[in-house]
Structure 1
Amino acid sequence: MLVNTEAIILSALKYGEADLIVRAYTLESGVKTYMLRGILKSKKGKFKASLFQLLTQLEVVASHKDKGTLEYLKEAKVLHTYQSLHTNVLKSSMVMFLAEVLKNAIKEEEPNPALFQYLKFSLNWLDLHDSIANFHLLFLLKFTRYLGFQPDDSQADLPFFNLLDGVFQDINTNEYCVEGANVVLLRQFLSADFDTSQNIKLNQHSRTAFLNMLLLYYELHIEGFRKPKSLAVLNEIFN
């Protein structure tokens, strides 16, 4: 089936000497993986490798068999040109981290327009702003809404947050109940947007601790989710 759709690049892996295997999240068909043959050696080919940088927003025409196999890409063009996402060192490090999280977290080969629009809005915001130290923290927290395990903040005044059940509670009931500084920050981020989240003050230790808590939350709720390898690079950059 021939599909015309928007797509966001999640990964691009070199295969052999000249091929590229590209994984993308598409508006019309969810996660899709494409084999691009000869793209790394041919100067006159249909596609340039630069089209498939991490989190690039494309408009593509693709042939989808929808059988869980590698698909065929017929056309691709940049839908939105970033101003700084791939040239700013801080942002490019964050892009590596976010792309790895998205690749690990999104599995479905089915459309989710609300999630796709959230990703577009978030990436465009990141591209256009300079104060971004807390962006990835709020991004991960808001992302849980589309994955089905958004924290229940109906009792956010209670002292413990249960990572296993995603609720605030008044007593410690298991090893995944957290309290203290991380719970205070969780309350702040739950009521923030990308603009106001940059006003939340964190030092090196508190930012790392809160991020590790969020990643544990993901591990508990997404089967097979792994802590991103790019986390070390991100921590080094922001520390």
Structure 2
Amino acid sequence: MVLTTRAIVLSAIKYSEADLIVSCFTEQSGLKSYLLRGVLKSKKGKLKASQFQPLTQLELVANHRNKGSLERIQEAKVSHPYRSLHTHVVKSGLVLFLSEILRNSIQEEEPNKELFQYLEQSLHWLDHHDSIANFHILFLIKLSAYLGFYPDASSIDLHYFNLAEGNFQKNAFGVYSEKGPQIATFKAFFGIDFDALPQIKLTKKERAETLDLVLRYYQLHIQGYKQPKSLLVLNQLY
């Protein structure tokens, strides 16, 4: 079936000498993987390797056979050219980290238009703003809502956060209960939007500890979770 759909590139892996295997989250069909033959050597083809950088937003004309195999892209064009995401040093490092997280987190081949819209809007905000030091933490917390495991904040005034249960508790319960400064920092990200991020002032150590808490939460709630390889680079940038 040939269809036109918006898509966000999650990864592009070299296959043989001139091919790419590209993973995209599409608006119409969810997660899809495509084989792009000869794209690394072709200068006259319709598809260019530069179109498939991480988190690039595309409009695709693709042939989806939906048989569990690699699909084919007939045409692709960038639907939202970024101003800074692939040229700003810090943002490009952040893009690599977020694309790894999304590749590990989005696993279903089914449409999720609310999630797609969230990703579009979030990336647009990141592209157009400079106060981004805490963006990835809020992005991941909000993303968990679309993935089905957003923390229960109804008792946010309590001192402990249970990573396994995903809620705040009065007392420690089990090995996954956390208490301390990182929990207080974690709480600051609830009930805000991206425009409020500059109000959260964190040291490098506080930011790293809060991110570690969020990633451990993801590890407990995503089957087959893999620690992102770009985390070390991200911590150095921030």
TM-score (norm 2): 0.99
Question: Which residue of 1 is the match for residue 108 of structure 2?
Answer: 108
Q: Do the aligned partners of 1:27 and 1:116 also contact (CA within 8 Å) in 2?
A: yes
Q: Do the aligned partners of 2:131 and 2:197 also contact (CA within 8 Å) in 1?
A: no
Question: Which residue of 1 is the match for residue 232 of structure 2?
Answer: 232
Q: Do the aligned partners of 2:19 and 2:35 also contact (CA within 8 Å) in 1?
A: yes
Question: Which residue of 1 is the match for residue 181 of structure 2?
Answer: 181
Matches within 5 A, 1:163-178: 163-178=163-178
Question: Which residue of 2 is the match for residue 209 of structure 1?
Answer: 209
190-199 vs 44-53, which deviates more? 190-199
1:198 Cα deviation from its structure 2 partner? 2.3
1:78 Cα deviation from its structure 2 partner? 0.6
Matched, 1:44 2:44: yes
3-state SS, counterpart of residue 215 of structure 2: helix
Q: Distance in 2 between matches of 1:212 and 1:227?
A: 10
Q: Distance in 1 between matches of 2:199 and 2:68?
A: 44
Q: Do the aligned partners of 2:132 and 2:197 also contact (CA within 8 Å) in 1?
A: no
Matches within 5 A, 1:50-199: 50-199=50-199
Letter aligned with residue 63 of structure 1: N
Q: Distance in 2 between matches of 1:167 and 1:235?
A: 27
Q: Do the aligned partners of 1:18 and 1:39 also contact (CA within 8 Å) in 2?
A: yes
3-state SS, counterpart of residue 33 of structure 1: strand
3-state SS, counterpart of residue 12 of structure 1: strand
Identity of aligned residues (%): 56
Q: Distance in 1 between matches of 2:226 and 2:213?
A: 13
Letter aligned with residue 65 of structure 1: R
3-state SS, counterpart of residue 79 of structure 2: strand
1:139 Cα deviation from its structure 2 partner? 0.2
Q: Distance in 2 between matches of 1:165 and 1:9?
A: 32
1:42 Cα deviation from its structure 2 partner? 1.1
Q: Distance in 2 between matches of 1:227 and 1:25?
A: 20
Greater than 4 Å deviation, 4+ residue runs: none
1:125 Cα deviation from its structure 2 partner? 0.2
Q: Which runs of 5+ in 2 are unaligned?
A: none
Q: Do the aligned partners of 1:135 and 1:198 also contact (CA within 8 Å) in 2?
A: no
